[in-house]
Amino acid sequence: MTSAAAPPPSSNQTVPSFPGFTVFPSQPPMFNSERGIWLAFSYADAHRVLNEHTIFSNERGGFDPSAQMPAEMPQIPLMISLDPPQHRKYRNLVSQAFTPRMVAQLEPRIHAIADELLDRVIERGAMDVIGDFAYLLSVTVIAELLGVPSEDQAQFRVWSDAFFEITSPAAMQAQMEMGGYFFRVLNERRQNPQHDLITALAHAEVDGQQLSDFEIIAHCSLILLAGNDTTRNLIGNAVLCFDSFPQARAQLQADMELMPTTIEEVLRYLPSVHTAPRVAKVDTVLNGVEIAAGQWVMPMLASANRDETQFANPHQFDITRSPNRHLTFGHGIHFCLGAPLARLEAKIGLQKLLTRLHTIQVLRDEPLEAVNSPIVYGVKKLPISFEAA
């Protein structure tokens, strides 16, 4: 079984497809022989796979069966690839940087960064939403949270773009280079502590022991990559949705109080993360289908988010939709730790775009190109024209 192409949000908008976008929410899990994985399409099946960590494990060794880490690579405890009780220890440690109070304290700085980025392009009347705005906003916020100097942030886009291609040699090279970078920064922070997350991790303890260098570096890389890609794709996907549904954009501009529900609908309709792979720990049955221990199971979030048993008129882009229990940020113990920060950055970023720029039009001189990744979804570039407000 192979995945069909994704339909565009509307007839006038071409959006690249990604594996598993095909909406089969009423179907039982299907086996993809090309990738050697089970695809779970319905909301109920995806929800169960995400929640039942005693059956569907995160301890899988990679993001894809074909992307196993080489044997010579050190096996580093990382919260997204651990099950309880180990998972809880690391998550509790890293979550200190993403408490509601900590996220709220970042709001003035996010406003300032967004305004600064738009100041650079406002006279041009055109920009790339991804390269000129969404990426720079997200990487600056998360890099400052970690303690990465501004002059080094450009390099992280190169590493980030390569990393999520997962199986490519460039992805492995990016992991090695990023690890070396954080190793140098970590040693510097031990000599000269700062008020940043790298310093906090350098002095943190789990079970009475300090984290190893490998553990700290791995979690710094995870935070930077996840915090950057999720947010930039969320903002870019929102602009794609607005371009397809101008009536929704007009509705939002007339009532900015709809921004929170708009963001949730973008996350549901065009998810920036479209799967969260698991491995069956034991032989089990999922919706009548027998799955053997050791087999991979991919909950297809884009399909689950269109399940009519959970969402009325699921193929309609409705910025007033409530409730909206989409699964884009996951569910259960591995629910995205950075979701509050991503939502805040998207809220501020989109407010700035829609209030400071008028007559926004997506330019179609070249076809949109999807990010090459089995995990995240977005476009590499999103050129627009506009008039200053």
DSSP string, 225-241: HHHHHHHHHHHHHHHHH
Q: Which two tokens stand for residue 303?
A: 């399909």
Q: Are 328 and 44 in contact (CB under 8 A)?
A: no
If one compares 97 and 352, the residue with the highest pLDDT of the two is: 352
Q: Say whether the peptide bond before residue 374 is cis (omega within 30 degrees of 0).
A: no
pLDDT band for position 259 (50/70/90)? Answer: very high
In angstroms, rounded to a whole number, what is the distance separating the alpha carbons of residues 140 and 116?
A: 12
Burial of 168 (0-12, 13-18, 19+ CB in 10 A): middle
Q: Are 91 and 79 in contact (CB under 8 A)?
A: yes
Rounded (10°) angle between helices 107-121 and 339-356 = 40
pLDDT band for position 169 (50/70/90)? Answer: confident
Residue 354: HSE in the Cβ half-sphere, 13 Å Cα cutoff: 24
Closest CA to 179 of 148, 147, 152, 218: 218
Q: Which residues contact 380 (CB under 8 A, 6 or more apart)?
A: 130, 161, 369, 370, 371
In angstroms, rounded to a whole number, what is the distance separating the alpha carbons of residues 17 and 9?
A: 11
Read off the pLDDT of each residue in 325-341 and give the average, rounded to a whole number.
94
Radius of gyration (C-alpha) of the chain in whole angstroms: 21
pLDDT in tens, 187-227: 999 999 988 889 988 888 777 778 888 888 888 888 888 88
Residue 247: HSE in the Cβ half-sphere, 13 Å Cα cutoff: 5
pLDDT in tens, 73-103: 445 567 888 899 888 888 888 887 788 888 8
**Topology of 70-276+322-388 in CATH?**
Cytochrome p450 (1.10.630)
pTM over 0.75: yes
